[in-house]
Chain A
Amino acid sequence: MFAFTVKRILQAVIVMLIISFIGFAIKHNFGDPIRDLVGQRVTAAERAQIRERLGLNDPFPVQYVRFLRDALHGDLGQSYFFKKPATEVIVKKAPATLELVFCAALIIVVLSIPLGIYSAIRPKSFFSRFVMGGSIVGVSMPVFLTAILLIYIFSVELHWLPSYGRGQTVLLFGWWDSGLLTADGLKHLIMPSIALSSIMLPLFIRLIRSEMMEVLESEYVKFAWAKGIKPWRVWIVHAFKNTLLPVITVGGVQLGIMVAFTILTETVFQWQGMGSMFIESVERSDTSLMVAYLVFVGIVFVLVNTLVDIIYGLVNPTVRVAGRQ
């Protein structure tokens, strides 16, 4: 297990190097960040001076090596727009995104497991057909459309829920701005988390259903039936436990994708997390913040996947055998 873990971590480091290189290459070719920092009247010569001051005129390898050296010290560069270190900006925005992803994941877990199991056990019932039909719509409707629809129904027409922002937040541990602890904050969370979960939820229902149906057809389940074990025990203990493995793998990958999907959700809801921060940094050509975000999200992806692999190894020892080869 130790060797397997070390190997996975080494792989993770290499992946991070590649991500940082690609991110930095994009930054280098993205466009001039100075344009957004100055008025139209500022002359080309003055812009060149500012560029020189910020070290943007150095050749690509020089800038990249400097970036890597600073990154090792935890410094991912300076956000031009926020006038602060990029890491500080991202850490400040991370709680908003993580809480959103957490709530969406919660919705997915709470709804997909019972719905998936039910529609596997009773595939022909009206409710199962309804759920399957709905899931097709969920998958095919773009997140921003769902989000706008939610806003128009529940904010503009019904006035039930607030249309934008995070509402009242509470500062925890001196840096974590949490919306989970106030009524206002929770109300602001409802629509964004539904919107964010709208793509993944149907996916998971379908995944759990198909895996479960396959398991229900297997020999040992038939054997369990033959032994006369109670139905719920066959379904939950015997069958569902074995559908979990692929669901965990996919779940790990999807969690990362969900962090990326927040870009759309956050933009529509003016949710002040990393997603909207990233899209705005692209618009403003705040290139160093852009790279910092790419690296940061890269780290999240790599960490989650590494963790999933290790957990997978714990759950299913044959993976470890494969890892040893």
Chain B
Amino acid sequence: MKVSTFKTAGKFSLLVLSLLVAALMLVGCSGEEKKEAAEKAAPAAPEKVTLKLAMDADPVSLDPHVQLSGGMLQYSHLVFDPLVRYDKDMNFVPRLAESWERIDDLTMRFHLRKGVKFHSGNDFTAKDVVFTLDRLKKSDDYKGLFEPFTGAVAVDDYTVDLVTKKPYGLVLNMATYIFPMDSKFYTGTDDKGKPKDAIIKTDYSFANENESGTGPFVVTSREQGVKTVFTRFKDYWNKDTGNVQEIILSPIKNDATRTAALMSGDVDFVMPVPPQDLDRIRSTDGLQLVTMSGSRIITYQLNEKRNPALADPKVRLAMAYAYDNQGVVEKIMNGFATAAGQMSPQGYVGHVDSLVPRFDLDKAKALMAESGYPNGFEATMIAPNNRYVNDEKISEAFASMMSKIGIKISLKTMPKAQYWDQFDAQVADIQMIGWHSDTEDSGNFFEFLSMCRNAETGYGQYNSGNYCNAKVDELTLAAQTETDPAKRAADLQEVEEIQYNEAGFIPLHWQNLSWASKSNMNTEDIVNVMNFPYFGDLVIN
């Protein structure tokens, strides 16, 4: 659109408004009358607490094992219920498991809650946990996560052992992913003669369209991409909880529309809130905004193999000094991110408080002068333009910051549909990637992003910078089989420090999380850093 047409538009905007109003009167009069009629027709039903919820996406399936994604986990917390879950401070709290104890190096024993029913009416027992773990080990998305487990063994109806192949420090983290499924309900064959327990990504399966969990809500109607209705499960084991009887979930993809839906009162709760609307919601009466620093780290990887200059540790350090994390967070992210100097966010065991962003242009210039490339060099760079918040703008800012220390970057951005193939092929010297740790643990970052690439073991699968340090590998692997929390933490923190000192990559920031709702809800109490609001606990006054 040319500038001149915009000017015309501005000049005539009043005119167009009046035209619109005129048009609306023509069309709208009948609508207003009908609204009144409709209100009369529907008598006031007995008080029923309904939550109208709008998110940017809806669950892709009713089968919790079909995909590992934020949307699916949010759904799992509504309809299923995990053995344990995180509280706000990332402590483990009992759900279907009432307590747990370590029996030996390989075995963790869980004591299950009694009297829990599935939506189908079946009783929940240890058998269901065994069934669920077996199924997780068959799921394309989850089998990697559950690889360290041999399986689950039912000791009696209400006791189950999770057994690992080697000592494993993250059994509880993984138990947050075990949402027991109804083994009776999902066993056998359906009307079409297909096995009910099949996990199918792209076609019909029984589990894609039917559910039976132990969670606070039952799916009562679902039109994918349009609307899903959840109704409170009458026999839910935890009576002492939220008061929402029905949740109507509508996915609203467009950011402006999602905000407008909340502001106009069409929905009660939206997530996420687009950064440009934060102030608007904050300043609107009757609405509340809850934000939190998130745990997805955004980084640039520097490919040491493609570009010899990037193999020079002084150059990499200079780049880390030349990047203004805080400036980008303030100016481009509207303050809606937390500047990062490392991968592990606060609350993760590997987090080291002293590893902060280090913006210092003079130091960066000095380092460049000392390096083997005092006159700078040229580098190529790619980034997605619709994957992370403001990914394209951030990358442009990065390129211009690097130009101040003589590094000329030619940047290419592309939609995520094309990006990941290019990322895997390592087509550029500098590549962007964001990562959320599936295990809510630092080890996951290092296994995928900073261990030496190894096609056989899969370690370093997303390490497109080819950063490689034997000590990092050694410590990360040691942490995997370490069950002493203090020792594990020490190992993982050492990894962060090594990476920081070598500038193995450029950390940018952790994206913040946001939820907005009407102010008569205890929104603050049900949200968490994993972004699985516990709607079962939501109280609407």
Q: Name A's B-contacting residues (CB within 8 A).
A: 30-32, 35-44, 46, 50, 54, 78, 80-84, 107, 110-111, 130, 133-134, 136-138, 140-142, 145-146, 148-156, 159-165, 182-184, 186-187, 190, 193-194, 267-270, 272, 276-277, 280, 282-283, 285
Contact = CB atoms under 8 A, between A and B. Distances in A.
Contact of B257 (A40, A137, A163): A163
Given A78-B202, A134-B15, A165 B250 contact: yes
A229 to B, nearest CB: 31
8 contacts: A40-B448, A41-B438, A50-B140, A137-B15, A159-B265, A187-B34, A194-B24, A267-B254
B83 interface: no
B257 A151 contact: yes
A32 B420 contact: yes
Contacts of A154: 24
Interface stretch (B5-13, B489-497, B530-538): B5-13
A151 B263 CA distance: 10
A283 B31 contact: no
A84 B266 CA distance: 30
Given A140-B1, A140-B6, 20 more contacts: A30-B418, A35-B416, A40-B435, A43-B144, A46-B140, A78-B202, A83-B204, A110-B26, A133-B12, A137-B12, A141-B9, A156-B263, A163-B260, A165-B226, A165-B227, A183-B38, A190-B28, A276-B253, A280-B253, A285-B417
A38 B141 contact: yes
Contacts of B421: 31-32
B260 A164 contact: yes
B278 interface: no
Given A31-B418, A134-B12, A42 B260 contact: no
B253 A140 contact: no
B42 to A, nearest CB: 10
Contacts of A133: 12, 15
A111 B203 CA distance: 46
A39 B264 contact: no
A116 to B, nearest CB: 15
Contacts of A165: 226-227, 250
Contact of B16 (A78, A138, A190): A138
A162 B201 contact: no
A155 B264 contact: yes
B462 A40 contact: yes
B331 interface: no
Contacts of A80: 201-202
Contacts of A41: 68, 141, 144-145, 438, 448
Contacts of B172: none
A33 B67 CA distance: 14
Contacts of B28: 160-161, 190
* Interface core residue of B60, B205, B250, B436 (most chain A CB under 10 Å): B60
Interface in B387-428: 415-418, 420-421, 424
Interface string B451-494: 00000001001100000000000000000000000000000000
Nearest to B6: A140
B27 A38 contact: no
B189 interface: no
Interface in B264-282: 264-266
A203 to B, nearest CB: 15
A110 B363 CA distance: 70
A107 B23 contact: yes
Contacts of A280: 225, 253
B34 A83 contact: no
A50 B253 contact: no
Interface string B238-260: 00000000000011111011001
Contact of B144 (A42, A78, A142): A42
Interface string B21-50: 001101110111011011000000000000
A314 B416 CA distance: 50
Given A133-B12, A156-B263, A84 B204 contact: yes
A28 to B, nearest CB: 13
B224 interface: yes
B9 A140 contact: yes
A268 B257 contact: yes
B31 A37 contact: no
A156 to B, nearest CB: 4
B261 interface: yes
A72 B144 CA distance: 41
Contacts of A40: 435-436, 438, 448, 462
A285 to B, nearest CB: 4
Given A78-B202, A155-B264, A280-B253, A187 B27 contact: no
A142 B6 CA distance: 10
* Interface core residue of A41, A50, A142 (most chain B CB under 10 Å): A41
Contacts of A163: 257, 260-261, 264, 266
Contacts of B17: 149, 153
A96 to B, nearest CB: 9
Given A39-B141, A43-B458, A155-B266, A81 B60 contact: yes
B230 to A, nearest CB: 17
Contact of A194 (B23, B201, B205): B23
Contacts of B514: none
A182 B343 CA distance: 53
A303 B17 CA distance: 36
Interface in B170-209: 200-205, 208
Nearest to A166: B226
* Interface core residue of A37, A78, A184 (most chain B CB under 10 Å): A37
